[in-house]
Structure 1
Amino acid sequence: MEIKWAPNAFLRLVLPLMAGILTYLCTGEKLPDLLPIVAGLTLLFVAAQLWSARQPGPAATDAAGLLAIVVLYAAGAALTQQATESRAPDHLYRFESRVEFYRAVVDDYTVTRPATYATTVRVSAVRVAGQWQPARGGIRVSIPREEGVGAPEYGDVWLVRGAPAPSKPPLNPGEFDYRRYLQYHQVYHQQFIHPDQYQKIATAPPSILRATAMRAARVLDGVFRQYVHARREYALASALVLGIKDEVDQETKQAYANTGTTHIMAVSGLQVGLLFGAVTWLLGRLPGRRGPWFRLVTALLGLATIWSYAFLTGLSASVLRAAVMFSFIIIGRASGRQTSMYNLLAAAAFFLLCYDPYLLCDVGFQLSFLAVLSIVYLQPRIARWLQPQAYFLERQRPWQPKTVRKSWQWLGKGLDYVWQATALSLAAQVATFPLGLFYFHQFPLSFLASNLVAVPISSLAVYVGLGLLALKGVVATVGLLSTGAAAALDWLPQLVARVFEWMIWLFNEYIFSIGRLLPGALISGIHLTAPQTWLLFAFILTVLVFLRLRRLPWLGVACALLAVLESSRVWAAHQLAPDARLIIYSIPRRSVVGFWQGAAAEVVTVDSLPLTETERTYRIVPGSIQREARQVNHWVGWRGCPVPARVAEPGLILAAWRGLRVAFVSSRLSPARQPLPGLQAIVLRRNARVRPEELAATFGTKAPVVFDSSCKSWYVARQDSLLQVAGFQTYDVTTRGAFTVQAGP
């Protein structure tokens, strides 16, 4: 499969740029300042280019071209280095816990949670030792939702007392690395702020344009809140058209994830593409559309439409990414040249990565470009497998009644639309399949059934929802002139809102019905490492090359890659089978211990309260997926649990498992108790009122003392120093993560 580089010039630019970005992400801390190196390489490239222009033959030109690739590679690493905020000499990291106060501005959307508001603030100054000095850094903050505490708004300037803490690493095995996610967004600290810790002192939005866009999005959200009365349908309406998902409940999110239709709720390429398609279709109905002016008018109106929509949705990152992508496509079409779609996608990716190299780590960025790339290449090829329209046209005969011939014609068109949509959905899944397994550990087999119905209905719903907003705008404008006329016209948006609400209800019910009718269609619990994901991508690519060239060596390479992939998974399972370990989990305010043997586990909630679905999903399940667990049993308390455990006395439980002996202490120990040496861990629960000398007399000082998550921070701080003085090693799972003890063979 030969790549034609001439019409795909940006492919030669974006690939080394991405390689440089990946290099810095892997080894960035070890690299020196790269700007002088890039400057030197650039000068060398200019000299080589001037030299090659005077030399006959392609050798000199090829050398200059290779040097250009090296320059772009170094530029990718340098751009990422410069975009890494933590390298700045005035970053928050340099001040550590010495910060007394800091001044910051709210620089992100506010996420409304059941008990808290969460947002990101950007620091501009800190007070250290009584002196104010400039500083920078992002902090992910949470504040409680209490009476009298309003949600933070973009542009609020705060004065905050206290020092933020560096973001915590994952606290349990396999848990999502939220710290790394924040770092990719240049946020390195977190803080829970009580209402008496901060004060709003001014309003100074970092971007007036974005502040206006966010206010516009909230005003439009108010229109949906006014006219769409059912709560679930209102939440989906706002998510579908505006990308505001604050009100979407967890059950609905899970249902869409299980059927492969989460993209419907994320305002991105689908909505932007629908708008561009609508503008193109409307302009296509105009006379004289073959003239050169038509391309220019189409491009200008297309750009105006998608960027206006991006503005009205609050200029969110996903919409901006899609708007940039479609802008390059629009400009490429308007140029009138035979522009390669691959080159346009590469150009969009190139400029986006130059603007923010860390976008390469963004899941949405990866999925968007891979899906579009796969659709451009595969969708036409898959669509050629079947020709339903041609098939049914051949069924027409001159002697057939007109209604019969029309029926054949419409049947062919309908089935052709269904097949084209099927081909598009299949093409998108081919490239995104490995990432779906890597990031989400599941694959919905029902994605075809879900998307074939839900996407067309939701697409129409987008048009109807935008029509509702436009009608409300007209009515509001009329209301400026005449209140009575506005009230008389209000039935129009009410009517459209009823249709809109019904359509949302319809495709939402369809999604839930797919989940109920096909409960086994979701393959979950799949764990892929990063190397295995690359192997899967390589396998898919070599299969595509084989199908294009029809040469057996490529099929052999594909089979070899698949064999390596499966061998790595079998070897990982073989290595894990004899692994036995005890894990004291870090789950806020809970006492949870897991006994793992290979792919099986007994998870005990020691405090006799069952784990919530959220606690289980985010704290226990990731580790289960990592070990590809086949049997995980959850026990509330020790009753019925196969792990031997006994109550030695009130407040003391002794558990023994595969040579490990662990004591769980939740109250004072009996002074007359016989010594119990030979333990592997002593777990203190519920702020157990025990003195170090009591623990030493009962268990000795060799076993580490573990504070589980049911212990308060003040208790840990007090007991930790006392126990260390007494000769104990201590471990706090709340701050250091889950405590693990490896069992013997």
Structure 2
Amino acid sequence: MLHWAPVAFVRLTLALAAGILTYLYVGAALPALQWLLLALVFSYIVFQIWAARQPTPGPTDAAGLLALVVLYVAGLTLTQHATESRRADHLYRFGNHIEFYRAVVDEPAVVRPSTYATTVRVQAVRVAGQWRPATGGIRVSVPRTEQGREVALPRYGDVWLVRGAPSPSKAPLNPGEFDYRRYLAYHQVYHQQFVHTDQYLKTDVAPPNALVAVSLRAARAIEGVFKQYVHSKREYALAAALVLGIKDDVDQQTQQAYANTGTTHIMAVSGLQVGLLFGAVSWLLTLVPGRRGPFFRLVSALLGLAVIWSYAFLTGLSASVLRAAVMFSFIIVARALDRQSSMYNTLALAAFVLLCYNPYLLVDVGFQLSFLAVLSIVYLQSRIAGWFDLRDWALSHLRPWQPQWQQKAWRGAGRLLDATWQATALSLAAQVATFPLGLFYFHQFPLSFLLSNLIAVPISSGAVYVGIVLLVVKGLTSLLALALPAAAPALDWVPRAVAWVFEWMIWFFNEYIFWIGRALPGALIAGIHITALQAWLIFAVILTLLIFFAARRLAWLGIACALLGVFAGNRVWAAHELAPDERLIIYSIPRRSVVGFWQGAAATIITSDSLPLTETERTYRIVPGIIQREARQVAYHPGWRGAPVPAVAADKNLVLSVWRGVRLAFVSGKLSSATRPQPVDVVVLRRNARVAPEVLAAVFGRQAQVVFDSSCRSWYVARQDSVLRAAGFRPHDVTAQGAYTVQLP
């Protein structure tokens, strides 16, 4: 029997979260709910007043159930209210009639190889020559260079006047593709636009939040300190990511190395860094004499809150830091009030407040991982650590006749072994609850996570402390240099010395992570693809096993086994249903020529341009379809050479292939009318192929389906589409219409 009294707030938060989830799935069909919520709140108040006037205690179960219903509807209502697209002045209401719009840059720009990407919030639109108030978010991309000159980086608070109407976010173009439109909608962004420099004008600087603007400037100023003193580019990039969460300069190779060893979380400023500061403040307060009484608790709480929120401010008030700061703030306040509150209640209260502020945080991956990891650590870390007592094992080897140095060695070994085992237990505990999410979102599991985190977390923790000391020392020496200008060169040696230690720690940390990747190349299990249902089933198995170990009742073990059977059956049934399915897919991947040949749970993906797909292209364009089909064997081939699908190069501009009776022609360059007739089912035009309708008809026949692949430019498609349609063809543009699929009978 589960007793809710000690963890009452957990129940309330679950009810609120259930309402939010319900809205995310069926909310579009619901009417306005605020009046229903007000009626339920009024009913609850009336019920409580009536129960309080009864001579005997009222029906508490009914009151509790009504409270859960109120919170469930509150979750629905809050999410409905937070959905900007429901507003009467949203961009959706104006369609393509927008001539200009005024918007403010709402977040720091992301620097990409050729573009800047950021989000702007619309303030007004001009329609039919009149300005009207409007709301809505637009994800804009701006070229980094245009007409041979560098384009200025968009800054938070820049007010733009933009010509043209933004386009609604595109739906997924490939089977099962990552739904970027839904991802943007969860962040209240429903439109996208590529903006050239001649389309927008910066008219003002008016940050939506002055505090955030100052915070971002402070973060960039602090980043300048690292840039000044950390000379190696790789170490500087990691230093900025580790302490400030700025990952603009971290190269792809480093990111991949950390992902392969399960240490990516270290590069994201979140609970780890805030927890380190919280631990440092708590330790320093233990050194204060006479640390008792309400006054000391108040002072220590104020000091802890000041340190945590100052750090959040200096790191740009990012969402991940704010989540961690809120979480630890509730822990600090609970301690200050001397409340023997359950940690589960404290975490539930923090989640409740965050979800009331932004209900869409519930579907944020960082939010899910943060709270699941902390919950898992709180429940499991002490239990796992209790499996072994390595300190007692070392102390059991002490003997009175041993020399003093040997006794000290055994005591030191005991402390070291105990600290190592505690860190291992923490890492194991965090993995238990986050394991299904790791498989679902990232499709891999690094078996080396224990070995990598065992060294990486202590070193990175030390590096965070040293990095913060560097910033403090630099600030103090700068103040002294203002008072004593002549001593400035000598004073600068102090931050230089600290920076040398900082850079050396970062270098060692980086080298260790890369060494783990080289020493254990097979430790990363990649290509794990599970559906959302299967992720829920894994969560259910873990939960029932935890209940079994806590309650020691075989019934729970039986439920866990049954759930495992359902999981296995789901995989088998999906494979059975998929076995007879055969299809050909011309993918829509920007500037690429990619075709997939699917036979049941196996697939051959061929890039006709002979260049391998990047990790990003595979992850977002191909892998979601693999998950959807629960495919087992997927092979990637750059070019036709070595691929199991037969292909013949008729000339340098034409490749012919036949697969399962489907005849294909891939045309690039100029197609000559002298080419021998080759009747085909599908003609794929690549790289702005120069073909005339009469030549296509003569060589391939008028029954052929013409497909423009993603390597064709938009101006070329627009021109050729009208010409081909006038000649009786029905072309398909994968860039605008999505992937072209041929389903075999």
How far 1:696 sits from its partner (Å)?
4.2
- Decide which moves more: 232-241 or 383-392: 383-392
SS of match in other structure, 1:688: strand
Aligned residue for 2:71?
72
How far 1:624 sits from its partner (Å)?
4.3
Where do residues 86-235 of structure 1 align in structure 2 (5 Å cutoff)? 86-146=85-145, 147-235=149-237
Whether the 8 Å contact between 1:441 and 1:625 is mirrored in structure 2 is no
Aligned residue for 1:714?
715
The alpha-carbon distance between structure 1 residues 650 and 387, as it changes in their structure 2 partners (threshold 3 A), is closer
Whether the 8 Å contact between 1:341 and 1:376 is mirrored in structure 2 is yes
Whether the 8 Å contact between 1:525 and 1:625 is mirrored in structure 2 is no
SS of match in other structure, 2:522: helix
**Residue type of the partner of 2:552?**
R
**Following the alignment from structure 1 to structure 2, what is the Cα–Cα distance between the partners of residues 501 and 667?**
52
Aligned residue for 2:493?
491
Residue 564 (1) aligns with residue 566 (2): yes
Whether the 8 Å contact between 1:703 and 1:729 is mirrored in structure 2 is no
How far 1:200 sits from its partner (Å)?
0.5
Whether the 8 Å contact between 1:659 and 1:743 is mirrored in structure 2 is no
Aligned residue for 1:730?
731
Whether the 8 Å contact between 1:164 and 1:191 is mirrored in structure 2 is yes
- Decide which moves more: 477-486 or 628-637: 628-637
How far 1:298 sits from its partner (Å)?
1.2
SS of match in other structure, 1:685: strand
The alpha-carbon distance between structure 1 residues 223 and 267, as it changes in their structure 2 partners (threshold 3 A), is same
How far 1:349 sits from its partner (Å)?
0.2
**Following the alignment from structure 1 to structure 2, what is the Cα–Cα distance between the partners of residues 662 and 242?**
52
**Residue type of the partner of 1:730?**
P
**Following the alignment from structure 2 to structure 1, what is the Cα–Cα distance between the partners of residues 678 and 518?**
53
**Following the alignment from structure 2 to structure 1, what is the Cα–Cα distance between the partners of residues 153 and 737?**
31
Aligned residue for 1:659?
661
Aligned residue for 1:644?
646
RMSD across aligned positions (CA): 1.9
**Following the alignment from structure 1 to structure 2, what is the Cα–Cα distance between the partners of residues 632 and 73?**
43
SS of match in other structure, 2:332: helix
Residue deviations 1:511-538, cap 9 Å, x none? 1111111111111111111111111111
Whether the 8 Å contact between 1:581 and 1:596 is mirrored in structure 2 is yes
**Residue type of the partner of 1:226?**
Q
**Following the alignment from structure 2 to structure 1, what is the Cα–Cα distance between the partners of residues 124 and 562?**
57
Aligned residue for 1:682?
683
Aligned residue for 2:383?
381
**Residue type of the partner of 1:723?**
L
**Unaligned stretches of 5+ in structure 2?**
none
Residue deviations 1:185-208, cap 9 Å, x none? 111111111111111100000011
Aligned residue for 2:277?
275
How far 1:662 sits from its partner (Å)?
2.0
How far 1:167 sits from its partner (Å)?
1.5
SS of match in other structure, 2:99: strand
SS of match in other structure, 1:430: helix
Where do residues 175-574 of structure 1 align in structure 2 (5 Å cutoff)? 175-574=177-576
How far 1:705 sits from its partner (Å)?
2.1
**Following the alignment from structure 2 to structure 1, what is the Cα–Cα distance between the partners of residues 106 and 662?**
50
How far 1:698 sits from its partner (Å)?
4.7
**Following the alignment from structure 2 to structure 1, what is the Cα–Cα distance between the partners of residues 125 and 386?**
63
**Residue type of the partner of 2:333?**
I
Residue deviations 1:17-45, cap 9 Å, x none? 00000000001111111111111111111
Aligned residue for 1:9?
8
Q: TM-score, length-normalised on structure 2?
A: 0.96
Residue deviations 1:230-288, cap 9 Å, x none? 00000000000011000001111111111111111010001001101111111110100
Whether the 8 Å contact between 1:707 and 1:732 is mirrored in structure 2 is yes
Whether the 8 Å contact between 1:526 and 1:628 is mirrored in structure 2 is no
SS of match in other structure, 1:687: strand
Whether the 8 Å contact between 2:530 and 2:627 is mirrored in structure 1 is no
Q: Name the % identity.
A: 71
The alpha-carbon distance between structure 1 residues 56 and 578, as it changes in their structure 2 partners (threshold 3 A), is farther
**Following the alignment from structure 2 to structure 1, what is the Cα–Cα distance between the partners of residues 617 and 71?**
45
SS of match in other structure, 1:740: strand
Whether the 8 Å contact between 2:187 and 2:360 is mirrored in structure 1 is yes
Aligned residue for 1:705?
706
How far 1:99 sits from its partner (Å)?
1.4
The alpha-carbon distance between structure 1 residues 299 and 489, as it changes in their structure 2 partners (threshold 3 A), is same
**Following the alignment from structure 2 to structure 1, what is the Cα–Cα distance between the partners of residues 135 and 704?**
43
**Following the alignment from structure 1 to structure 2, what is the Cα–Cα distance between the partners of residues 63 and 653?**
73
Q: TM-score, length-normalised on structure 1?
A: 0.96
Residue deviations 1:78-107, cap 9 Å, x none? 100110011111111122222111111111
SS of match in other structure, 1:114: coil
**Unaligned stretches of 5+ in structure 1?**
none
Whether the 8 Å contact between 2:294 and 2:336 is mirrored in structure 1 is no
Aligned residue for 1:31?
30
Residue deviations 1:62-91, cap 9 Å, x none? 212211111110110110011001111111
Whether the 8 Å contact between 2:650 and 2:656 is mirrored in structure 1 is yes
- Decide which moves more: 128-137 or 432-441: 128-137
How far 1:648 sits from its partner (Å)?
4.6
SS of match in other structure, 1:684: strand
Residue correspondences, number: 742
- Decide which moves more: 604-613 or 64-73: 604-613
**Following the alignment from structure 2 to structure 1, what is the Cα–Cα distance between the partners of residues 64 and 70?**
10
**Following the alignment from structure 1 to structure 2, what is the Cα–Cα distance between the partners of residues 623 and 223?**
45
**Following the alignment from structure 1 to structure 2, what is the Cα–Cα distance between the partners of residues 580 and 470?**
63
SS of match in other structure, 1:532: helix
